[in-house]
Amino acid sequence: MRFKALNSYKAKIAVACFWILLISLAVKPANAQQHFKKWTTADGLPQNNVINIAQTPDGYLWVATLDGLARFDGVRFKVFNKSNTPEMPNNRIFSMFTDADGRLWFNYANDQTLVAYENGEFKRFEKGRDFQKDENLALNARYGVEYYRHLLGKPEMTFRAGQTEYVYEKGRFVARPAQKETRFPARVFATDDFTVWIDAPEAVYHVENGNATRYGKNAPLPIAPRDTIPMDFVELGGVLWCVAGGTFVNGKLISFKDGKVKMFPAVDGIFYLESDAKGNLLAASTKGFFKIDAAALARNDPANFPVTVLSSHSTSSLFRDRDDNVWFGSFQGLHLMNSDPAVIFYSKQSAPPIDNVYPIVQDPEGTIWFGAWTDNKLFSYRDGVFKSEYGYILTALFVDSRARLWKGTGGMIGYREKDRWLPVDFEKTLPPPWNKPTVFTGELAFITEDKQGNMWFGTEAGLVRYADGFSQLFTINDGLPSNVVTSCFFTRAGEMWIGTNAGIARMENGRFRAFTEADGLAGNYTRSFYEDADGSLWIGGYDGGLTRWKNGEFKKITKRDGLFSDGVFVILEDEAGWFWMNSNQGIYRVRKQELNDFADGKTESVTSVSYGPEDGLLEVEGNGGKQPAGLKARDGRLWFPMAKGVAVINPATAKPEAAPPPVLIEETRIDGQPFDVSAEGGVRLNSDQVALEIDYTALGFVGAERMRFRYRLENLDGEWVEAGARRTAYFSHLPHGEYTFHVIAANYDGVWNTEGASVKIVIVPPFYRKWWFYALAAFGAFGLITLIYFLRLRQLQALNKARAEFAKRLIESQEGERHRIALELHDSIGQALAVIRNRTLLGLDAAEPGKMREQLSQISEASTLALQETREIARNLHPAQIENLGLTAALRSLVKSIETATGLKIEADIAEIPQKSLPYDASINIYRIAQESLSNIIKHSGASFADVHLQMENEKLVLSIEDDGRGFTDGAVPNGLGLTGMRERARMIGAELTIDSLPGEGTKVRLVL
């Protein structure tokens, strides 16, 4: 209650100060950046002037700016402004106030309108319509103060205009006569002169210029409660901290205890006060943002009052949300304060600057040593003090059994003795080119020592054992999976394991036995080993995940199984049983028990807790591959080499696990158009709508980017989709049916809200997926098929009939032709031959030479006739002229022979068609058509005159035969083979044949080729 009241008050003050600040402040750049996470217009904030911050009961943070309102879920800003919210008169929000029911109230610059937001809906209330017009309500009054003093900081929405009071009840404003206020609006309040009054249990005090004037509870006061406004205050340890001063602009911090006031001039210009969860006081001022820690507050001593400058941004709003996150708004955006980061990150910005750290060790005296490649430094750290010396590209550090510090650099491998570095001389012990230290040093990955005191060096050329001035090189020839050696580990049982970029190897009887992904290793590129108390060996990969080696069996755990990253550059175990690992994506931890449960098949996944900027890990990229790639210091703190520095975490106090985040479904879009789920009770897609998008979120503001989501469509696949940080689900072309979209989320500690949120989805089947359509379609299809079948059947039948008819006529024709030929043979040639034979016999029989001569004469005559007959038959069978002389000659001969034989008068105009210009089959068919036409004329037309033309017209050959005979009608066309045969012949040679005839008007046959 107190909080909300203050919040409304802050809003007023923010606006009041806005114009002053604009002209009076020179905003300095941020310095202590690590204390805040910041969002600006670049992140989706509609405008960088954050006027006010509030939170609704559903958990959303609301940010009012001078260019609209934004709803914030930690990642996405949903902007509400005039363009999408017609209830808003303009975009310049003047203030935002949260009432006791969780409603948001807004009013606007230069407007006499109030807007409320409740349960997803905006409502607009206008002066003169919903409440009385009153000049005192002028919103653009000086600094807005005149107006706001009537907007009392009560939990319920009430304001006063003149002698009328407006109370918001059941969706509307109810007017009533202003009631006499008998109580002050807050424990600390102010009057028009901005002097502070304190309503203490025993008395009322007026504070002015550091002095308090006491008024007894029953004494008459020079002020009336209704003329006062609440003031910001924080009570800590029995001390009331509030702001006093002639104006807000130079507001001073005062403490009030037991009727005594103390002034603290260290901070001024204060207009907001807030406390954090640890009892520190936060002061927002025109000069910046300050923190006074709880111990200083407890001393309550102006002379010993250290103030920490958190930000030099002038602060326009301050808000502590229900998870005790402290937010502030400035003219530079929205800021989230990180009061107690889990990670201490030493970077380039630190003193001394530290960058690009690789190997890190701690010596027996407790000094921590690490190499930083930027600026070529070897750092030491002890008792909070960093020192550094020159150290060229330090790739390996090691403290041996004699407490000597070893280093591998770009130029040497050596150890430190009395502040001097003594290099190992390989030239004596190895053949070239391996005897050059540069072969090892540039690519050196580790220096280590076995129980026998042999030194081992991991290089990109192989593994080197060094003892007593002599070296031995082990390579793939000795069984190593690769010569690029990255890591080495001696187990308590005395096993030696080597990691390479192509698998791992275990020393067995002087040789190495290799294991790779084929044997079950999660990834061949190995970066780290760790042996836990149970004797399980854990192997970390560069990009393949984590592997457990236990009882001769490899079990892998990867990102897919819940590991934060597939990079496992180092494995450090803390006292609480967490494995801490480092990767290019940042530092993370997983419970060893979870890893074992997963490896044993007891669970489906593991949960990782990752660290990022919210935790103080400003740059997440880890370093590794140069050993040791991490350190568990003797004090229990963990050191991780990072690309941008070195990160130190105290696992004992590393952030508490947060509560599971509330999960909400924000918006549903169908084919890009927002769909009102609440109105329909679910999503409903018609058959022609294909794309469904569902925006969901989980509310939690620390590590919001690393919240993880899983969703599934129940009734469809049943499998959870790992959405990662994605906050929108996309579906398209869902099969019709009813589904439930269910989304769950985990905060960045890996704590899942398994209940999540869900929404029903109905995909309406298209009409063609409904039973009646199936039935109709089946019926229709059956009908169609039947129809097609019968049509086709009829067509085929007709075709068959026509073919049969044609075949029959063809056969008949052939038979007729054969018959004709047979008759001709019989009648003419046969008989002639018979005559010849008989006359020969008679001649032979004749006694007289005269009679014999006569028979011979008759035989000669018969033979001549027989020859003529034979030629005639042959010519009819096949016109030899076509072959020999061409179509022209053949046709002329035909016409002549018909004229001679029948007496038909034929007018022939037969052009010379070059024999070679016409293929033979065309010629013969044209000839036959002419022959048939003339034959028809002779047989059927009764014509006395015929006309035969053959000529070229437009490069086309045209044959036309006309007669003056009796003609015929279409219906009466003798459907004998004659005409059909002619048409068939025309078709065969690709010619067009037309036969025009009318009764009494002759017949015209025209062929165009």
Partner 1 sequence: MILIAEDNPLMRKMLRSLVEDLASEVVECTDGEAALSLYEKHQPAWVLMDVSMRPVDGLSATRAILARFQSARVIIVTEHDDAETRRSAFEAGASEFFGKDYLLPLRALIQHAGNSEMLGNAII
By CB under 8 A, name the binding residues for partner 1: 823, 826-828, 830-832, 834-835, 837-839, 841-842, 845, 858, 861-862, 865
In the complex with partner 1, which residue's Cβ is closer, 717 or 827? 827
Specify the residue, 619 or 861, whose C-beta has the smaller distance to partner 1.
861
User: Whole-number minimum distance, CB 858 to partner 1, in Å?
Assistant: 7
Q: Least Å distance between CB 844 and partner 1?
A: 10
Name the H helices within 651-770. 677-680
Q: Are 475 and 483 in contact (CB under 8 A)?
A: yes
388 or 828: CB nearest partner 1: 828
Q: What is the closest distance, in whole angstroms, from the C-beta atom of residue 820 to partner 1 in the complex?
A: 13
Contact 532/521 with Cβ under 8 angstroms? no
Which is closer to partner 1, CB of 802 or CB of 821? 821
Select 412 or 829, whichever has its Cβ closest to partner 1.
829
Residues 6 or more apart in contact with residue 48 via CB below 8 angstroms = 40, 41, 65, 331, 332, 333
| Smallest gap from residue 986 Cβ to partner 1 (A) | 34
Distances (CA, A) of 845 to 218, 661, 859: 184, 139, 14
Residue with smaller CB distance to partner 1, 374 or 831: 831
The minimum distance between CB 865 and partner 1, in angstroms, equals 6
Q: Which residue has the tokens 């901005």?
A: 194
Strand-pairing partners, residue 328, are 318, 335
CB of 825 to partner 1, least distance (A): 10
Neighbours of 383 (CB within 10 A): 6
Q: What are phi and psi of 470, to 5 degrees?
A: -125, 145
- What ranges make up the beta strands (E) of 463-543? 463-467, 470-474, 485-490, 496-500, 503-508, 511-515, 526-531, 537-541
955 vs 505: CA distance, rounded Å: 91
Q: Which is nearer to partner 1, 817 or 921 (CB)?
A: 817
Q: Closer to partner 1 at the Cβ: 505 or 832?
A: 832
CB 367 within 8 A of CB 380: yes
- The single-letter DSSP state of residue 939 is I
Give the residue with the Cβ less far from partner 1, 225 or 830.
830
Least Å from the CB of residue 857 to partner 1: 11
Distance CA 996, CA 1009 (A): 17
Q: What are phi and psi of 573, to 5 degrees?
A: -110, 130
CB of 908 vs partner 1, minimal distance in Å: 31
Residue 828 vs 902, nearer CB to partner 1: 828
Q: Specify the DSSP element, H or E, that contains 921.
A: helix 920-936
Instruction: For partner 1, give the closer residue by CB, 278 or 837.
Output: 837
CB of 939 to partner 1, least distance (A): 16
- Cβ closest to partner 1, residue 129 vs residue 826: 826
Helix pair angle (831-845, 849-877), 10° resolution = 170
For residue 964, count other CB atoms closer than 10 A to its CB: 18
Which CB sits closer to partner 1, 460 or 824?
824
- Closest distance between partner 1 and the C-beta of residue 886, in Å? 35
Do 941 and 1003 meet the contact criterion of CB atoms below 8 Å apart? yes
Nearer to partner 1, 377 or 839 (CB): 839
Residue 723: name the closest of 712, 736, 710 by CA. Answer: 710
Helices (H), 139-230: 145-148
In the complex, least distance from residue 815 CB atom to partner 1, rounded to whole angstroms: 17
Rounded to whole angstroms, the Cα distance separating 907 from 905 reads 7
CB of 904 to partner 1, least distance (A): 22
Q: If you search the block for the tokens 């969901």, which residue do you land on?
A: 696
Tokens describing residue 137: 């309500």
What does the alpha-carbon distance between residue 312 and residue 779 come to, in Å, rounded to a whole number?
80
Q: Tell me the closest approach of the beta carbon of residue 837 to partner 1, in angstroms.
A: 6
For residue 662, cis peptide bond before it (omega within 30 degrees of 0): no
Per the CB < 8 A criterion, the answer to whether 617 and 344 are in contact is no
Instruction: Rank residues 20 and 842 by Cβ distance to partner 1 and give the closer one.
Output: 842
| Structure-token pair, residue 633 | 């210091």
CA-to-CA dists, residue 603 to 307, 555, 596, angstroms: 50, 13, 9
Q: Are 613 and 644 in contact (CB under 8 A)?
A: no
Of 329, 239, 231, 243, the residue nearest 289 (C-alpha) = 329
Distance CA 733, CA 838 (A): 99
Residue 353 or 830: the one with the smaller Cβ distance to partner 1 is: 830
Closest distance between partner 1 and the C-beta of residue 806, in Å?
A: 30
Contact between 88 and 115 under an 8 Å Cβ cutoff? The reply is yes
| CA neighbor of 124 nearest in space, from 137, 113, 134 | 113
Per-residue HEC secondary structure of 587-625 comes to EEEEEHHHHHHHHCCCCCCCCEEECCHHHCCCCCCECCC
Query: Minimal distance in Å, beta carbon 816 to partner 1?
Result: 16
Comparison of 516 and 828: residue with beta carbon closer to partner 1: 828
Residue 269, token pair as written in the block = 């210009």
Q: How far apart are CA 900 and CA 890, in angstroms?
A: 15
DSSP 918: S
CA 341 – CA 654 distance, rounded (Å): 8
Minimum distance from residue 833 beta carbon to partner 1 (Å):
9
- Taking the C-alpha atoms of residue 894 and residue 885, their distance in angstroms, rounded to an integer, is 13
Nearest distance in Å: CB 831, partner 1: 4
Residue 934 Cβ vs partner 1, minimum distance, rounded to whole Å? 23
Nearer to partner 1, 435 or 863 (CB): 863
